[in-house]
Chains A and B, each alone.
Chain A
């Protein structure tokens, strides 16, 4: 009886020690692996290494503007139209909150609103419209051909719907996030929170120039 009890005790002790050692090893391995992993983006990451497709459109003062003009800043680009009653004001207001939440870093963020309705959205109207959200926002318009080309470059689906004198435009609602090196990096959505945008934009601003893609 004594021998059996003693053997049992030793076996039990061995199991306990082995288990504890396993836990410790797992813990160490986990810590090491999370230490080497880089910061993680919360938005859908595109990890592209080539510059985003460039374009030339016109700003509120009729000056031609290209995407490359905004290198050095994180660009948040959204497509819509000024007679959009719900979605566009919602998203642009959110982007103005993102910029505000970034405080000083907000100066390194450029919001660009590109119209899908160039027939009704003149440069002056785009200027008035974007200024209502933030005076630093840039609203871009162009000819129908130019707009269609940019939309195609970014796979923006859009179509007019309703009567000719009072149509609306169905359109995709992604916000394109372009890093300071001009690469398309992340895609935001209508349901992306201000906090998520702020988190990911801070990561992009912290990256070393010429760093990872």
Chain B
């Protein structure tokens, strides 16, 4: 029986760690349906989209970063006097129990000074920084150029 003790101890330790992790406050902010669009060669800007959902208290998105671009701007789009107008905003309120939607033709995340074009099928790492929830890093699948929706699945090949 003695020989079983060390593995058993390990098991209990593991359960303890898991329990400790689970009991820590879990962020109520989630990044869902995040994706980016492939970019044409020669153009060093791109766009990414996501839905931020918040099941907890009000928070604020204060910055977005990406490993493949110098800068990421949060853009609001609106129709003004017949023109589509987009403007960078410093931060975005994420209301308690609410959602913030970035989508084609609307608000979006503009990737500025891309180090190289984004290629369809690859993953782009982006970090969303919140005032309360902190940093959340997600991997965004890259959809075809101009696509208006997230890639349906990683196995969806187009030729």
Which positions in A face B, CB cutoff 8 Å?
82-83, 85-87, 89-94, 96, 124-125, 128-129, 131-133, 157-159, 161-162, 166, 168, 170-173, 190-191
Contacts and interface: CB of A to CB of B under 8 A. Distances in A.
Contact of B41 (A90, A93, A128, A162): A128
B105 A85 contact: no
B84 A89 contact: no
Given A128-B40, A132-B40, A161 B85 contact: yes
Interface string B145-159: 111100000000000
B108 A86 contact: yes
B144 interface: yes
A121 to B, nearest CB: 10
A170 B105 contact: no
B47 interface: yes
Contact of A92 (B82, B88, B146): B146
B85 A170 contact: yes
B84 A82 contact: no
Contacts, number: 84
Contacts of A170: 80, 83-86
Interface string B33-52: 00001001111111100000
B83 A133 contact: no
A166 B148 CA distance: 25
Interface of B: 37, 40-47, 75, 77, 80-88, 104-105, 108, 110-112, 144-148
A-B interface, 9 closest residue pairs, ranked by CB to CB distance from nearest: A93-B146, A132-B40, A89-B146, A85-B47, A170-B83, A170-B85, A128-B42, A85-B110, A157-B83
Contacts of B44: 83
8 contacts: A87-B86, A124-B42, A125-B43, A128-B40, A132-B41, A133-B146, A171-B84, A190-B84
Given A85-B75, A158-B83, 20 more contacts: A83-B43, A85-B108, A86-B104, A87-B77, A87-B86, A89-B40, A93-B147, A124-B42, A125-B43, A128-B42, A129-B40, A131-B40, A133-B145, A157-B81, A170-B80, A170-B83, A170-B86, A172-B82, A172-B84, A173-B84
A158 B111 CA distance: 22
B43 A129 contact: yes
Nearest to B85: A170
Contacts of B86: 86-87, 168, 170
A128 B43 CA distance: 9
A129 B146 CA distance: 12
A85 B47 CA distance: 5
A193 B44 CA distance: 28
A19 to B, nearest CB: 50
